[in-house]
């Protein structure tokens, strides 16, 4: 008999994280509608000024280094993130959860990613680098409501790098939380707008 792994995809991807940040929101829609909203939500639709400012500021050092104007995509979904960057799709269970991951040095002014496959992500343990995973999990909450949870997990492989990251993390953590909440608000608005009137 095959044992079923009932952990979330992010728990499977990084079971022992050094850092975790999460946010949850109750949506006034069934779980199936909420998951569709997660799958299709557009990161360029994040309207909260604080979240947009945080995203703009984080991209500033890279733009200054490359001396290019900010790229303004017309649409940027989770699928676009996987196709157009070094982020990987770690798994998708329709109606339940989706997880993405990347490896590199993302706490430096100019981010340095290391391309890996999903299989390499699972076993990656290079000192000086870290693994980061993010996920959205959808759970039913009664017949007509659902809970969407957004989680970020980070794992290091050597103490000096972890110590360097620690100061960075406690500085940016409140702002990352704002971005997570902005994503959840965008998903909620998209889900509610998709309901028949």
pLDDT tens by residue, 134-184:
999 999 999 899 999 999 999 999 999 999 999 889 988 988 888 888 889
Name the more confident of 80 and 61: 80
Q: Are 124 and 1 in contact (CB under 8 A)?
A: no
CA distance 77 to 95: 17
Name the more confident of 81 and 102: 102
**Angle at the Cα of 88 (from 7 to 192), degrees rounded to 5?**
70
Residue 2 has pLDDT above 80, yes or no: no
User: Helix or strand or coil: residue 119?
Assistant: helix
Q: Where are the alpha helices (DSSP H) in the chain?
A: 9-13, 31-40, 49-66, 78-84, 118-123, 159-193
Neighbours of 183 (CB within 10 A): 23
Which of the given ranges, 42-56, 75-89, 137-151, has the highest pLDDT on average? 137-151
**What rounded mean pLDDT belongs to the chain?**
84
pLDDT band at 94 (very low <50, low <70, confident <90, very high): very high
In the DSSP assignment, the letter for residue 44 is: G
| For residues 68-93, average pLDDT | 75
pLDDT of 60 reads: 36
- Work out the percent of the chain whose per-residue pLDDT is above 70: 82
pLDDT of 165 reads: 95
Express the helix, strand and coil content of the chain in percent, nearest 5 each.
45, 25, 35
CATH of domain 18-64+72-193: 3.30.530
pLDDT band at 57 (very low <50, low <70, confident <90, very high): very low
Residue 68 has pLDDT above 70, yes or no: no
pLDDT of 150 reads: 95
23-38: per-residue pLDDT in tens? 999 999 999 999 999 9
């Amino acid at each position: 008999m095959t044992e079923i792994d009932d952990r979330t995809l992010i728990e499977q991807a990084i079971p022992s994280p050094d850092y975790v940040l999460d946010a949850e929101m109750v949506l006034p829609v069934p779980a199936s509608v909420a998951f569709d909203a997660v799958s299709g939500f557009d990161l360029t639709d994040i309207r909260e000024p604080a979240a947009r400012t945080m995203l703009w500021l984080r991209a500033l050092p890279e733009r200054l280094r490359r001396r290019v104007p900010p790229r303004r995509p017309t649409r940027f979904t989770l699928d676009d993130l996987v196709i157009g960057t070094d982020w990987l799709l770690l798994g998708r269970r329709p109606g339940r959860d989706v997880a993405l991951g990347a490896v590199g040095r993302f706490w430096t002014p100019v981010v340095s990613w290391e391309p890996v496959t999903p299989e390499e992500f699972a076993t990656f343990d290079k000192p000086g680098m870290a693994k980061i995973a993010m996920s959205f999990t959808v759970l039913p909450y009664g017949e007509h409501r659902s809970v969407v949870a957004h989680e970020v997990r980070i794992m290091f492989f050597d103490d000096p790098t972890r110590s360097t990251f620690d100061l960075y993390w406690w500085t940016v953590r409140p702002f990352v939380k704002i971005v997570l909440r902005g994503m959840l608000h965008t998903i909620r608005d998209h889900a509610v707008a998709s309901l028949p009137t």
